[in-house]
Structure 1
Amino acid sequence: MAQSSTGSGPWLAFLVGGLIVAVAVIGYFVYAGRQAAPDLGGNVDINLSLPNPPPMPEGPRLPDAPIPVPK
C-alpha cells in the first residue's frame, strides 16, 4: 500500500493562524489607540489681513479674425 503523506497541511495551518493573530494584534492597536477629541468649546475667529497682489501684466492680444469673403 502507498503511504499517505500529510503534505504541507500543518505548515499551512501554522501560517494561517499566524496571519490571523497578526491581524488581530494590528486591529487591537488601531482601535485601542483612538481617543475622543477634546471639546475646545467657544468659537474660533481667524482674521487674516493679506496685502493686495500686484496687478497682472497684459497678456498677448489675439489677432483680429479675418472677415470671410462672400462667394
Structure 2
Amino acid sequence: MTDNAPNTSRSSGGGNAGLAFIVGGLLVVVAVIAWFVFAGGGLNPAKKEIDVDVNLPKVEAPKLPDAPSPQAN
C-alpha cells in the first residue's frame, strides 16, 4: 500500500534564500543613495567667494525739443 503521509524529511524555506539576498542588496543600495542625498555623501565642496562689481554709466533721458511758442491771433 501507499503511504499518504507527507514527506517531512525536506526542509522548508530554502527557496527564499535568493530572495533574501536580493532584498538585502536593494536595502543597501537605497541606504547608500539616501546617504548621498541627505548627507551630501561626505563631499565638502570648496567654498567660493564671489565678488562682483558692476559699474554702469549713468543713463539720462534724451532732451526733449522746446515747446512751440503760442502765436497770438
TM-score range, shorter chain: 0.3 to 0.5
Q: Which has the higher contact order (CA 8 A, sep 6+)?
A: 2
What TM-score comes out, normalization by structure 1 length? 0.38
The structure with the greater share of residues assigned to helix is: 2
Q: Higher Cα Rg: structure 1 or 2?
A: 2
TM-score by length of 2: 0.37
